[in-house]
Amino acid sequence: MDNVRLHVEEAKRDGFTLLRRHFPRELLDDWREHFAPLLRAHMAQEAGREIRGPGRYYVTLPFRSPWADARIFDDDAIVDVVEGLVGASPVMCQLATDTPIEGSEHQATHRDAPPLFPELHEETPAFQLAVNFPLVDVDAENGPIEVARGTHMMTREEGLAAIASGERPLEPVLMELGDVMVRDVRALHRGTPNRTKVPRPMVVVGYSRRWLFRPEVNIQVPRDVYATLSPRAQNMLRFNPRVDRLDDELQRESYEAYAY
């Protein structure tokens, strides 16, 4: 519990925290192998329509094997950190990937959500988190995310000014396969170019406070998969539609996070 408390405090202060070497590399190697054909199909479908910038693809993962894996989204340490930030009984609302390929560019510096109460002109405690982990090692060349510490508790304008002045510089976050980032989605950040020939998939599992519904994202949960999950995992998925079978047609890219 001491480690959980330290991660929660770090995320509250900096806007993100890293759990190093948390997932087994062999598990994520399997995810990467299964993801490769999904990415190729999505790239073909989205050709000329990359809404997150050139050479960058947002791909929703179908909630089936290997991605419907409770060892990932119902992991005790991760759920403990998530609950420490957004309270008990959080909602899992997103299971997707962000993948830059060769030819990608710097994204505009952005947040993944607007303020909860913009009329206050000040920030609230966390209400929405992204749990990120890569499917390859992330180094300086293959498109690390850059984050400006502490900007989750500033208005967007204050955060951009702090970045411009050098007070809160954008810092690349290098990650090994197995590392996990828990991130307040309001922290100003951007994707960077992948200068290699190998795609750099980054998984995002989204969690929100128990009362927050996000209409722009969802997870279609097959009923037979849902029946195998723990009560805690079922509760986290309670706002998502349950279906008899998954549609094999790819979901078109639509979630424009950097609009904020």
Q: Which CATH superfamily is domain 2-247+254-259 in?
A: q2cbj1_9rhob like domain (2.60.120.620)
- As given in the structure block, the two tokens for residue 94 are 């997103």
Distance CA 260, CA 156 (A): 9
* pLDDT tens digits, one per residue of 121-169: 889 999 999 999 999 999 999 999 999 999 999 999 999 999 999 999 9
Residue 110: pLDDT above 70?
yes
C-alpha to C-alpha distance for 99 and 126, rounded to whole angstroms: 26
Check residues 45 and 243 and name the one with the higher pLDDT: 243
- Boundaries of every domain in the chain: 2-247+254-259
Q: What is the C-alpha to C-alpha distance for residues 229 and 170, in angstroms, rounded to an integer? A: 39
User: Could you tell me the two tokens for 116?
Assistant: 């909860």
